Structure 1
């Protein structure tokens, strides 16, 4: 827990040191609406060899960030101890800076760094680096450079989690060709919408399941604009005639890839639509119910079930492979082409004149609203350098 004396120390330090940076941090796991805080800290020192100083332009707030703060997510951030010479953020009192995904601009380059220069845009090539900050010093191996032009800040800030997940699941398990079919649930999720766009780019037909709602028309129109071939609800899975309809749509061609982020009975029913030698890839469990698969699908149809976590993919692939993936995605996001649209989003700005107390109240309020589902779209965080 924070002591009042520690907070006073951090506050007095920030005022007396004519600081310019700010970050959102926590010192222990717990409810984000209670443990998150804002702190200001001095300008960064010149970068040491093989490191970069970054200025974050925009950062994502993802569902996994909430779980990380709560302490229930497998990926754990390391403590940060180079923000201050004493007090919070120092070696004596390290903190955890929030944020896993974001877009940054290189402001200074240390000796030994090659291929990256001041002004370049970069994204993170390592997890839990603490992107909810105005500035950070990182190893040059922890970032990947983006193309020189053609990307928006929103595209850059949302590139390394959902788009990479969608791309890899669509490419790594089944060698789908133009005209083939795939199926997914959670189709209106961030990853689901990206899968639709990437499938359209490759000419892959897609059947998409979403939760039923009173007015389906706006959602159907939106998903069709992204490239959805068919859009159904989980209730449709109970229709005994569905299998015949699917066979008619596909011309009898086997569906060999299913993507699952829901679990429970809807996923069980969805897998029954798969053909021979199909692969089920699970990357979430929104229903919080276990995955139950008929044994007959494994015996008679040779179904293979996989789990997918992008963090593991990042750890197990070379830097060159990761740079190649980011390059491909960036090309599809470039203005003028926009094969991948920027997600619908809200930008929360913590302004330069807001005190740490005001910033703390704002960020806790944001997480309270997120927990209540008030945003309904991607939340992005913009931290301005403080003028306090």
Structure 2
């Protein structure tokens, strides 16, 4: 359901964020920190009110201290204790949807009430409010998007789009092969490929009841859905040739690694590209030397954070506009999700316990959906 935007000129009297002082297990180190309302924004900055922010796997790795992208310490939330210069904190959250509530002098192309997403990594989106440079956010279209769309726009959709368009010059009717097809990025690859008229061969882990998953992925636009066990079927090569009409497959997307990726790569044609963006099996990637020598295979790694650092603001704005249009037209669905709300009347102790419980459930795989965090203003 598309939500109509509401805007109030009254800023929060009191704010809250989810933060940590040192790296470690999120169930042990996360804390809720309450802080005062933001002062008016200084020149070239805006005050934001966060509407919804996801908890991504990379956020867990960041808190644990094993992710390459590092947040900066924040020391201006409080005058003493947690969030002060005495005990600075890392505010969690890399991705999120926010609304502009106040605009400083010199700010361009933004006004109060606008929806924005983050253009800078690790800004600390698990917060009710933040003050940021106006150059660190990108404005979204004025209507037609849900909060869930906006909150999850800058990591997985951008990754899927850039991998599909940045390595092989694919045209309508071409084929892409991928593993981890039921992952968040995999499902977006299917949807974006469908928009572009590109066919997809999608591999997933075998399970007792495959029919619902196959139906779901085909509903998103998947051309073929197979399991990793099918890679051991010697007749699959003949089937793939029939499906593609003998056309070379020139792009493979990998988030699994290990033997399934080795087997999948053998279906690639001449001058193809294998793009790895994850390693869920935690096993090394091993590719036959013959694919490089005789088929001129090129293997790449892709990390959206690096893409963001090496592309212009205009390119990033265009990417967000393109994805937003697909979402507005119903061609990209918001991910299945559950919203965890930290209520306005909950104490910091209660909010801390709730967040630690959320991360315990995430670690045990109890959600099965994207978890989106909503922090209510503590003044309401």
What's 1:192 paired with? Answer: 186
1:67 aligns with 2:61: yes
Deviation at 1:82, TM superposition (A): 1.7
Deviation, 1:88, is 1.6
In structure 2, how many angstroms separate the alpha carbons of the residues matched to 1:150 and 1:387?
A: 30
Structure 1 residue 85: deviation in Å? 2.2
2:308 and 2:76 map into 1 onto residues whose CA distance is 26
**What secondary structure does 1:340 align onto?**
coil
Contact map agreement 1:19 1:40 (CA 8 A) in 2: no
Name the counterpart of 2:231. 237
Q: CA contact under 8 A between 1:30 and 1:69: conserved in structure 2?
A: yes
> Secondary structure of 2:222's match?
coil
Q: Assess if the C-alpha contact under 8 Å between 1:19 and 1:41 holds in 2.
A: no
Give the aligned partner of residue 201 of structure 2.
Answer: 207
In 2, the alpha carbon distance for the partners of 1:56 and 1:220 equals: 36
Partner of 2:344: 352
1:375 aligned residue:
367
- Aligned residue runs from structure 1 range 19-168, under 5 A: 20-168=14-162
CA distance in 1, matches of 2:86, 2:351: 24
Within 5 Å, give how 1:301-316 maps onto structure 2.
301-316=295-310
Q: How far apart, CA to CA, are the structure 2 residues paired with 1:20 and 1:283?
A: 40
Q: CA deviation at 1:19?
A: 5.4
Q: CA deviation at 1:81?
A: 1.4
How many Å separate the matches in 2 of 1:175 and 1:387? 52
Counterpart secondary structure, 2:162? helix
Secondary structure in 2 matching 1:247? helix
CA RMSD of aligned residues (A): 0.9
| Match in the other structure for 2:358 | 366
Number of positions where the alignment pairs a residue of Structure 1 with one of Structure 2 = 369
What is the alpha-carbon distance in structure 2 between the residues aligned to residue 175 and residue 224 of structure 1?
A: 24
Which consecutive segments of 4 or more residues in structure 1 shift more than 2 A? none
Q: Distance in 2 between matches of 1:86 and 1:115?
A: 36
Alignment match, 1:217: 211
Deviations 1:208-253 (A, max 9, x none): 0000000000000000000000000000000011111100110000
Deviation of 1:39 after TM superposition, in Å, equals 1.1
Q: Distance in 2 between matches of 1:239 and 1:87?
A: 62
**CA displacement at 1:114 relative to structure 2:** 1.1
Deviation at 1:59, TM superposition (A): 0.2
1:147-203 deviation line (CA, Å, top 9, x unaligned): 111111000000000000000000000010000001000000000000000000000
8 A contact 1:36–1:363 mirrored in 2 = yes
Q: Secondary structure at the match of 1:77?
A: coil
Partner of 1:386 in structure 2? Answer: 378
1:225 alignment partner, SS class: helix
State the TM-score, normalized to the length of structure 1: 0.94
3-state SS of paired residue (1:327): helix
User: What does 1:219-368 correspond to in 2, within 5 Å?
Assistant: 219-334=213-328, 337-368=329-360
Deviation of 1:92 (Å): 2.6
Gaps of 5+ in 1: 1-17
